[in-house]
Each structure stands twice: as structure tokens, then as C-alpha cells.
Structure 1
Amino acid sequence: MAVTSLSTSAPGSEAALPEESRSPHRPLLGQSLAELTEWVQAQGQPAYRGKQLYQWLYQQGARSLQDITVFPKAWRQAMAQVDLGRSTLHHRVVASDGTVKYLLKLADGQIIEAVGIPSAKRLTVCVSSQVGCPMACDFCATGKGGFVRNLATHEIVDQVLTVQEDFGQRVSHIVFMGMGEPLLNTANVVAAIRCLNRDVGIGQRAITLSTVGVPGRIRALAAEQLQVTLAVSLHASNQTQRLQLIPSAGAYPLETLLDECREYVQITGRRVTFEYILLAGLNDQPANAAELAQHLRGFQSHVNLIPYNPISEVDYQRPSEASIRTFVAELEARRIAVTVRYSRGLEENAACGQLRASHR
């Protein structure tokens, strides 16, 4: 379905938070050292137990208080029902390139996907921000399944810890490019970014937030003064074509979106990355490249070209290597910074646009 309203009752709006994020008994994951210290003291424990809880939660990956062996056994047993906020592994699949896709079951039984992407020098986690997605992009598997709810802060942080534990390797980079539209869940996404930076130790400059664009939300994100990389999914060089691919673009014309991106650059001093999925015979023509370059002239930006990753619901095709090279050459001739990003995990449906939270 298309998103035509951004009122607090709209699907995917900030009002669609899970119950646990509004509860005074919220899970411990996602809370700061000060908050955890306050919590242990409220349970009648000395303040130093807060630091122990903090270390076991964020550095040692505790999944229950029973795991924290430095705590008194009697207290662990008495607090056995306390929710730390960890998911359970529903399914795991490894692609030939080493990419691992995780289906994680949340406390309410909903399933989300996260992806671990290893390389020689880094481990990147592609995280989800919603269960499903309301944006209904025509080329994306997640949007075909509809929207269920926003993820709470701890449900986002948990994805990173889960991948880190499974690989036995420190996560170095995070991309908010999984299921959902992050800027329809801004409060929890920003809180998760701050937690991942402050508590898990991942630099904000190593975090990328991808959005298809929601009116006013890029400006609001700029006000947070984060050091993350903003990646805006254009996927078309004109408004008519964008409407075909992204139904929500009707409420957010291309020129308006680009104007807000310019404001973001002015406020933050950070460039914007523009993502552009290349679809054979549709938006991969030299004329599209020239049109895109015209929009971005004088813009502090970078273009990521993503050859289309097929899904079963639509018959779009991946462009030829010759078409990709021609598109790149057209942009470079117009002095537009550009790279081609080939997605990992393609054969296991773990690549960009392929996440659907189902196991067949």
C-alpha cells in the first residue's frame, strides 16, 4: 500500500511502537550504564552490579540473567523472568560468499531478517528497522509482504549482537538497509544508533541509514546531529519513473526530496549517498544517467549504483555489464562521484531488496 499520510495513526508512524517500548518494564537491552545501575539498585542490589550487568549485556552477549555468573545465584533465580530483550534464532543460512542471513523470532512471535556480511577487514551487519515495510516499493520483496509494526530499540541492537556472537568477530559497520523504512521509526532508530555507538562501541561514521524518503524526516534527522552516513534511495531519474517504482513518492516529489537533502548537507556538513537500483531497459539508459546528473550537479553527494537483485513477484531484469559501464561513464563524464555496489548473498535471497522474513 502507498503511504499518503504521515499522521501519527499512519502505518509505520511513531505511534506504531511495540507495547514493550512503552512499558515501564522495558527490556534491559538498549539501556545505558546509568539506567542499568538505577535498575539494579531498585532491585535491592549494590550499584556496582549495574556495571557488571552492562558488561555482560553488551560485551559478553548475555541472553538471560542466568548467564551472568558474577551475580548471586539466589538473585539470578529470583529474577529469572526479567526480559533482557534478546531474540531467538529461527533460521540461519550461509551463502557461498560467506554472507549469513538470520531469521530472528521476537518476543511476540514476529520474524525479522538480519544479514552478516564479512570481508577481509570488516564485518558489516544489515539490520531491519520494522517488521515488514509500508513503502511498497515495486522491486522489493519486503514491501510485498506489507507492514506489521516498528521495531523497538532493543530489537534493533539485538540484531547486531546476534551477528557478532555468531561470527565470533567484532562488528565494524552497520547498514540500516534491511526490512522497513528507518525514518518511519525515527525515535527507536536514533536511540539504537546512540546505543550501538555508546554501549557496543561502533563508531557513528561506520553506520549508514538508508531511506526512501519521508517528508520532513530527513530534516528532523539532521537536527539529531549524528555522524552517520545518510543514504537516500532514488532509484529513478525523474518523478514519473519514481512513482512507478515507489508508490509513496506521490507524497514526496523528487525535487522536494532533493531540496531536503540539500538542507541535510547544510545542517550536518556531511554528504549524502544516493542509491540507484539499475533495472534493465527501465532506468539504466544513458538518458537516465544524464537526467540524474542534472539533479545532482553541485551537490555534495555520491551515487551508489546497485544492479537489480531478482525477486519472484515481479519480472524486472538485471542490466548487462555493458549497460552498467555505460551508465557509470555517463555520470563520471558529468563529474558525478559514483561506484557500483554488487550485493552479497544473492543466491540465498540475502541481497538488497530480497528480505522477506519467511523461510521456505
Structure 2
Amino acid sequence: MILACAALYHSHTPSLHRRTSMTQRLITDLSRDELLAWVEATGNASYRADQIRRWTYGKRVSSFDEMHDIPVTLRASLAKDFTFFASKIVRHQVSQDGTEKLLLEMHDGENVECVLMREEKRQTVCVSTQVGCAMGCVFCASGLKGLKRDLTTGEILDQILRLDRLLSIEERITNVVIMGMGEPLANLKNLIPALLTLNEKGGMGLGARRITVSTVGLPEKIHELGEINIPFNLAVSLHAPNNDLRNEIVPVNKNIHLERILQAADHYFEKTGRRITYEYVLLAGVNDADEHARELGELLTHRNAHVNLIPMNDVAPLSLTAPSAPRTNQFVETLNSWNVNATVRKRKGADIDAACGQLRLEQESGGNPNLHALEINS
């Protein structure tokens, strides 16, 4: 079966001038302790650090000048030593369902994507952790050009600040999912400080249960995340119920294996008490058969787990498609027969192709609708 990455709706927002270097540090790269040390080194009272963080994460300002209860001299020092935003907005797409997607250009000209998803009582943002991806999942656009680099802590948080400023005065970010471009746990050194800032009362102040980290399954890193002892939600991108099939869909599995991933996830649950979510992209004729559902049910029946089924987006010219609704429902029923809780993810932003990696790929391919193709045996 041939897979191809589809073209996106083409935004006419012009590309902005590329920056080739960044001499100033991002304010979002600093932890509270680092900012406190800087504030005291400039001869200011220590409480100013918390004021600056409240302005950065709790109010929707876009520059240090807008922090009106900070002394002018301190604002000048901030502007001299730090940059407020890491990025420039290259494209901004808005879906009919209220989903908004940003393509951001970083200081070195690399592009990343982030998404705001609106529902009646929640506003969820999805952010990236790397430029590109090295995992090679065959259905995903993020890794078609390989991995360019990790994002810094500040660049991860920068996406959240950009999306936060798209909200109306009545809205606020309620949930954060680390499910954009890249493998989050492969950049854990920069992700952990970002997670802590999201969770801290002096940062975004989001409860751990409102923050979800998605991973293809890196056992050692899952253990490391668990050792923080903050019960963030963990979502493991499984996509297959056995090693042979998963090796085809998620090539890095050849060096990892399902058994080790499941053991690490079990340990995470024991450590944090947080139920594990297993994500499973349904690919018609590849991993959606009754036997696959039975195998998956057998794997998870004795685990405290939830399966999030994600039908593949049907976008031309992809030859890979989502299963029919009856086939998807049968998959759910089979899992339920094994006492495994399963839901089908609601599609958001379909008219702007909000799946991660596609907008960046189009941007870097000059808008060519016939981008890349990969093969998978089925």
C-alpha cells in the first residue's frame, strides 16, 4: 500500500523575514529560580520575579513594555537581556469548527506547528517539542523530512503563549497536550521544565491531570518522567497489537518492542496512579481487523487503560484511509468485550488539515501537493 502526504489548504499569509541568530535569551527559557537570580542580580526586589512570571503566563501581554506595574528601568533591563517571543507567525488558519492552527518560524528559520481546539467547556492546545521527528511513523507527516533539532523549553512554552493570545477575554486554556511535531520524551530535558512551568501556580497553574504527554513509547524515558512524581497524563501511541505489525507502522519499535513499553507504562501507573491512554490510529486494511482488536484487548484487559481510537484522516491524495464507521464500531465493541474502555477521537480542524506536521511540510515543499510517499506492507 502506498502512503503519500497530502497537500493542505493553502494559506496566503506571506512568509516573514527569517532570523539567523538569537543573541538574547528567551524569557520563557528561565525557571522561576533562574529569573529570581537575574532579578536580584539587577538590584531589584525578589518579588519582581513573580510579577514578571504572572505577566508572562497569566496575562496576555506581548512585550515587556506592557508590564505596567514593573518599574521602567527593570522593563528596560528585561528588553535588553531577553526576548519575549521565540517565534514569528508565518501562517494562521481557522477552521469552521473554531480550531486554529499556527505555523511558527523560529529564530533559525525552522518551522513548527501548534493547534488550539475549542469545545463548549474547554480550550485545548496541542504543541510540538521538536522540529521534525526521528520516529518514522508511516502515517505521520512530522517525520517525512527527518529530525532537525530539539526545541528549547522556551520554544515549547512560546507556542502556548501564542495560542493563548488567540483566545477571547472569556476564554482560557484548560488543557495542554504534548502531541504535536516530534517525540516529546526524546526531548525530555527541555520538556520537563516546560511541564513544571505549566503546572506551577506562578506559571500557567494547570493541574497535572490537564496536561497530557504523548509518546511513541521510550521505556527509559517513561520511567524518568514517572520519577518526577507529578501525575501528568501519559498517552502511548501504540497503533498495533503485536511487534511484527508495529515494526512496519512504527519502525523504531524494532529496537524497543511492545513488551518493554507496556512494562514501562505499568510502572508509570504504579508510580503516579494515573490511568494510561493508548492511542491507536485506525488504518483501513492494515491494523483494523477483528483479530487486531482481539489481540489489543488481550494485551490490555488486565491493565487500567483507556484506548483512544483515531481514524486516519481521509485526505487526497492519501491512498491510506480510515475504516468505515461500522468497522470502527466493531473494533470498539470487540475491545469492550475484553473489558477495555475505548472511545473514538472526535476530528477537529479537518478543513484546515490540523494533523501535526502537514502545514510545515507544505511550507517547506513550496506548496507542492504531491509531497512524499512511503510504503507499508499490508
Q: TM-score higher than 0.5 here?
A: yes
User: Which runs of 5 or more structure 2 residues have no equivalent in the other structure?
Assistant: 1-20, 368-378
CA contact (8 A) 2:103 2:359 kept: no
CA contact (8 A) 1:66 1:76 kept: yes
Map 1:96-107 onto structure 2 (within 5 A). Answer: 96-107=96-107
In the superposition, the TM-score normalised over structure 2's length comes to 0.84
Change in Cα spacing, 1:184 to 1:192, as seen in structure 2 (3 Å) is: same
Map 1:187-266 onto structure 2 (within 5 A). Answer: 187-198=189-200, 199-266=203-270
Is 1:321 the counterpart of 2:320 in the alignment?
Answer: no
CA contact (8 A) 2:117 2:124 kept: yes
CA contact (8 A) 1:309 1:352 kept: no
Change in Cα spacing, 1:140 to 1:44, as seen in structure 2 (3 Å) is: same
Map 1:58-77 onto structure 2 (within 5 A). Answer: 58-73=57-72, 76-77=75-76
Asked which structure has the greater RCO (Cα within 8 Å, sep 6+), the reply is: 2
Change in Cα spacing, 1:357 to 1:104, as seen in structure 2 (3 Å) is: farther
Which residue is equivalent to 1:156?
A: 156
Which residue is equivalent to 2:46?
A: 47
Which residue is equivalent to 1:174?
A: 176
Which whole-Å CA distance do the structure 1 matches of 2:315 and 2:188 have between them?
A: 28
Deviation, 1:281, is 1.0
Map 1:279-298 onto structure 2 (within 5 A). Answer: 279-298=283-302
* Residues 74-111 of structure 1 deviation map (CA, whole Å, 9 limit, x = unaligned): 55446533323412212100011110001112222221
Deviation, 1:315, is 2.1
Which amino acid letter does the alignment assign opposite residue 149 of structure 2?
A: R
In the superposition, the TM-score normalised over structure 1's length comes to 0.88
CA contact (8 A) 1:64 1:83 kept: no
How many pairs are equivalent? 339
Is 1:31 the counterpart of 2:33 in the alignment?
Answer: no
What is the DSSP-based 3-state SS (H/G/I as helix, E as strand, rest coil) of the residue aligned with 2:39? helix
Which whole-Å CA distance do the structure 2 matches of 1:74 and 1:326 have between them?
A: 65
* Residues 207-254 of structure 1 deviation map (CA, whole Å, 9 limit, x = unaligned): 111100124111121111121110001101111111111110110111
Which whole-Å CA distance do the structure 1 matches of 2:142 and 2:112 have between them?
A: 10
User: Which runs of 5 or more structure 1 residues have no equivalent in the other structure?
Assistant: 1-18
Deviation, 1:350, is 0.5
Change in Cα spacing, 1:48 to 1:215, as seen in structure 2 (3 Å) is: closer
Which residue is equivalent to 1:93?
A: 93
Deviation, 1:166, is 1.0
* Residues 50-69 of structure 1 deviation map (CA, whole Å, 9 limit, x = unaligned): 23322221222443333333
Which residue is equivalent to 1:276?
A: 280
* Residues 13-60 of structure 1 deviation map (CA, whole Å, 9 limit, x = unaligned): xxxxxx98xx9x742214344432321221233334323322221222
Which whole-Å CA distance do the structure 2 matches of 1:221 and 1:256 have between them?
A: 16
Which whole-Å CA distance do the structure 1 matches of 2:211 and 2:253 have between them?
A: 25
Q: What's the C-alpha RMSD, in Å, of the aligned pairs? A: 2.2
Deviation, 1:349, is 1.4
Deviation, 1:353, is 6.8
Q: Percent identity?
A: 40
CA contact (8 A) 1:103 1:114 kept: yes
Deviation, 1:300, is 1.1
TM superposition outliers: structure 1 runs of 4+ over 6 Å = none
